[in-house]
Amino acid sequence: MSRNYYFVAIAFFGMINGIFNQLALIFTLLYVQMLAGPLLFGNLSLTLMFASLMVSTATVILGGIPAAIYERITGTSESNNVSLWLWLAGTAILALPAVGNFLQIGL
């Protein structure tokens, strides 16, 4: 499978978790309102979008940790199919709490 398909699927799971994971989104929104509220002019819509982007980014980063450990142990210099599968699986596991809301609401 092409590497691009892996990256699209990883980004998809990150997006699903960032938009539909209500617990992580509320937790992040509270901190974003305190820290970045004045930068976003106190607009709740912009703050919610920024919080959603932060959750999505955190999902992709945390999902890549098992792949990075695998690459470090095996000593590979660039990602192969196994490490990309690990990254995809880690991102999918982190997105499991949001999948129910995604299937109920739809995209």
Q: What is the mean pLDDT of the chain?
A: 90
The single-letter code of the amino acid at 64 is: G
Q: What is the pLDDT of residues 6-54, one digit of tens each?
A: 999 999 999 999 999 988 888 998 888 888 878 878 888 888 999 999 9
Q: Report the alpha-carbon distance of residue 27 to residue 34 in Å, rounded.
A: 12
Whether residue 59 contacts residue 9, with contact meaning beta carbons closer than 8 Å, is answered with no
Please give the single-letter amino acid code of residue 55.
Answer: V
Quickly state the pLDDT bin for 88 (edges 50, 70, 90). very high
Taking the C-alpha atoms of residue 49 and residue 41, their distance in angstroms, rounded to an integer, is 13
- The whole-number pLDDT of residue 6 equals 95
Per-residue confidence (pLDDT) for residue 69, from 0 to 100:
95
Q: Max Cα separation, the chain?
A: 48
> What is the pTM (predicted TM-score) of this model?
0.88
Using the predicted structure, report yes or no on whether residue 107 has a pLDDT greater than 70.
Answer: no
pLDDT tens digits along 63-78: 999 999 999 999 988 8
